Amino acid sequence: MDDSLRAVVARKAIDVTGIVQGVGFRPFVYRLAQQCRLTGFIANTPAGVTIEVQGEPDHLDRFLQRLPAEIPPLARITALLPRDAETQSESAFRIVASHLDAPPKALISPDVAVCDDCLREMRDPRDRRFRYPFINCTNCGPRFTIIRDIPYDRARTSMASFKMCPACQAEYDDPANRRFHAQPNACWDCGPQLRFLSADGSLHDVAEPLREAARLLENHGILAVKGLGGFHLACNARSDSAVATLRERKRRVEKPFAIMLRRIEDLDRFCQADDSARQLLLSIERPIVLLPRKPDSGLAESIAPRNRFLGVFLPYTPLHHLLFSSGKFDALVMTSANLSEEPIALDNDEAARRLQGIADAYLVHNRDILRRCDDSVIRLAAGRTQILRRSRGFVPVPVPLERESQPILAVGGELKNTICIVRGSEAFLSQHIGDLENLESYNFFEEAVQHLQYILEVQPKIIAYDLHPDYFSTKWALDRQAGDIRLIGVQHHHAHVASCMAENHLDGKVIGFALDGTGYGTDQAVWGGEVLVADYHDFERAAHFEYIALPGGAAAIHEPWRVALSYLLKHYVKDLDILDLPFLRSIDDRRRQVIQQMIDRQIHSPRTSSCGRLFDAVAALTGIRSTVNYEAQAAIELEMAAYESTDEGAYPLELIPDGTRWQIGTYPLFQAILGDLRQQKPVSDISRRFHAGLATTFVDLAQKIREQTQLNRVCLSGGCFHNILLFRLLLDGLRAQSFEVYFHSEVPAGDGGISLGQAMIAAHRCELR
Ligand SMILES: [Zn+2]
Ligand SMILES: [Zn+2]
Ligand SMILES: [Zn+2]
């Protein structure tokens, strides 16, 4: 060729970091380079991938434009840095072997839903994977839950024991194939297989385990199904008897169950949903989405008693799709296979042991689950998604931070525990671990700490923990006290506020509303209705609910009537009898005396400013609920009652100056509630006025604090913001007064989010020295 006709050639080297391994990134770059007529190579590096491309400048530009715009569905780029490089003599684009010498820092992908291409093949009778329950490709399937070690390749996953057949191996080796380096690649000939086990865990040898499982579900049975991150218990959601049996056997009296729908087209039958809800349900994370339920949907009554929301999700593994393929049912209850508040069951033996007497049969397989991971739970509010439980599909995707910090481990709280590791400018929250008070969860906690440190390749020397001396996570942290380990105790509500600040990338001081059930205060009282002026270093308590006695401590959490009585005793002392309340008549004299004595003599009656307990008290007083079967049940049912009302009133509360802060006084609130009860006002109106009264008072308070501090940013955090009515009323009220309001979206507002706040506070406190 004449040299004058040959175009100028340039070369670029590009380092890409993020989730770019095990997600089809290299074949994608390979195809893109070919389409742009470039030579060069791509290789995995410890931090991600490195690409070198060479060709005409126009073609290089096109490549650099298309690269970030067209990445595969599971890939996420955190940084992409092109620089000029020396041209080479080469004739093709190649995928070269990984460099494994340096410590890996690449991110691991979460588990994601089966893709449409795989589903199409699974449903095609001519395809070699027709009805294969473990079909996957680089764009879909298990990741986080099958990883034993890093870097991510088959030998370091629970697929290591399955040797690929020649057909699968050929796909795996072909850069142009959708299964190029798809580590869990498998088929009928070489991959995992299903088994059907009887109630006692013994193998029930049937030709088609799936058909047997579907038949059991049709016949109102309860099936344990091995999934991605653990076992589910499944039953037909339209069968009253099956759902009732499941509740009885699982000892889960009333806590709502989520249901899996056969297909998105059926959604309208069960729920009110708009396009954003649909998109969320269909997203690759396939979370459980809370949506307003429709009456008369034909679902079993006991799925979500007295709750206007329904948790729904769609099939996310090929196995789920196949279970529904009999067409005999359109909705299944799918609930973590555990007794209440224990972690999700993991392996076949453990499941058979723990689910004895609960499941009628088991649909299992021989691919090990190495990491537990529950389903994530999301809702839509104020135009944003709000994660209530962050697990499958989201873990281990990091939350980006504003600044770099040294490695930190934050061990979270006691209930709904998660842990968090900060590495560089990213915060990695663990999956939902659960309530640490039971042994299974505690073991899971230790395992999660180990595993997260391991896959992130950090050994943090700073450990942040909650101040509560009896939390298992706190004790665990304090046991690590040795040598160069630095321990940093963080107040619970400060952590809530810092968590909200972190995900909204705020710095400096804010007004923080931290409203929840329980958190250990610096004065050793049980805090929970707190307004803080806070930054990442420290906080001042600007306001809180006035203290009341919590007779029986934790027992009062299960028995809201105790809290209601405590409020009445505080406000009416000896005049209780002239109140003539149905609530008081429901408590026998002896119990009343016991509670009164506990409070008078300060026996096992800690002081509390809890907002959650105030909800409990109002729920008990109005006859909604005097004891609960699951956490926050009274508050949830009180909220549900408010939706039946259009009343526009708001109960008064008082702001009592107390030195430099305020106490939120509840006497006028109780006066007003008792007045309405005497007039036999509907409970729904009382609940509505209570919610509106709280919101109005909090807005007043925020204005008073703004006058003092000139702060205009307000953060909303704490489990009470799972109450969507309180959240909306307060958000609207604050915005009407021109506050900038920040709330949770990526991490839970409840205690599942505090590990992030702990980590942020520890990071800033360490920076000072
Ligand atoms: Zn796929
Ligand atoms: Zn195969
Ligand atoms: Zn909390």
Q: CA 758 to CA 419: how far, in whole Å?
A: 10
pLDDT score of 104: 54
Reported as a single tens digit per residue, the pLDDT across 450-473 is 999 988 989 999 999 999 999 999
Cα of 169 vs centre of ligand 1, distance in Å, is 16
Residue 74 CA: which ligand is closest? 1
Please state whether the predicted TM-score (pTM) of the whole model is above 0.75: yes
Mean pLDDT for the stretch of residues 253-258: 93
**DSSP assignments along 491-547, one per residue:** -HHHHHHHHHHHHTT--S-EEEEEEEEEEE-TTSSEEEEEEEEE-SS-EEEEEEEPP
Cross-strand partners of 79: 17
Cα of 131 vs centre of ligand 1, distance in Å, is 14
Tokens for 479, please give them: 């046991």
Cα of 215 vs centre of ligand 2, distance in Å, is 29
Cα of 49 vs centre of ligand 3, distance in Å, is 40
CB burial class (10 A; 0-12, 13-18, 19+) of residue 246? buried
Q: CA 592 to CA 601: how far, in whole Å?
A: 14
Residue 186 CA: which ligand is closest? 2
> Is the model's pLDDT at 589 over the cut of 70?
yes
Percentage of the chain modeled with pLDDT above 90: 81
Tokens for 543, please give them: 């306001």
Mean pLDDT for the stretch of residues 250-262: 93
> Is the model's pLDDT at 725 over the cut of 80?
yes
> Is the model's pLDDT at 105 over the cut of 70?
no
Residue 172 CA: which ligand is closest? 2
204 contacts 211 by C-beta, under 8 angstroms = no
> Is the model's pLDDT at 344 over the cut of 70?
no
Cα of 669 vs centre of ligand 3, distance in Å, is 24
> Is the model's pLDDT at 474 over the cut of 90?
yes
> Is the model's pLDDT at 392 over the cut of 70?
yes
User: pLDDT band at residue 440, thresholds of 50, 70 and 90?
Assistant: confident
Return the H-helix or E-strand segment holding 662: strand 661-665
Residue 519 CA: which ligand is closest? 3
Min mean pLDDT across 101-110, 246-255, 388-397, 408-417 is at: 101-110
Reported as a single tens digit per residue, the pLDDT across 279-295 is 999 999 999 999 999 98
Cα of 166 vs centre of ligand 2, distance in Å, is 7
Tokens for 566, please give them: 């405590």
**DSSP assignments along 107-143, one per residue:** PPPPPBPPPHHHHHHHT-TTSTTTT-TT--BTTBB--
Mean pLDDT for the stretch of residues 239-262: 95
Cα of 176 vs centre of ligand 2, distance in Å, is 18
Min mean pLDDT across 153-157, 333-337, 694-698 is at: 153-157
Cα of 129 vs centre of ligand 2, distance in Å, is 9
Which of 620, 609, 615, 610 minimizes the C-alpha distance to 632?
Answer: 615
pLDDT score of 438: 84
Cα of 173 vs centre of ligand 2, distance in Å, is 13
pLDDT score of 352: 83
Per the prediction, the chain carries an average pLDDT of 93
Mean pLDDT for the stretch of residues 739-744: 98
pLDDT score of 341: 61
pLDDT score of 688: 98
> Is the model's pLDDT at 481 over the cut of 90?
no
Q: How many CA atoms lie within 13 A of 537 on its CB side?
A: 7
End-to-end CA distance of the chain: 67
Mean pLDDT for the stretch of residues 508-521: 98
Cα of 439 vs centre of ligand 3, distance in Å, is 21
Cα of 125 vs centre of ligand 2, distance in Å, is 17
HEC secondary structure over 676-693: HHHCCCCHHHHHHHHHHH
pLDDT score of 126: 98
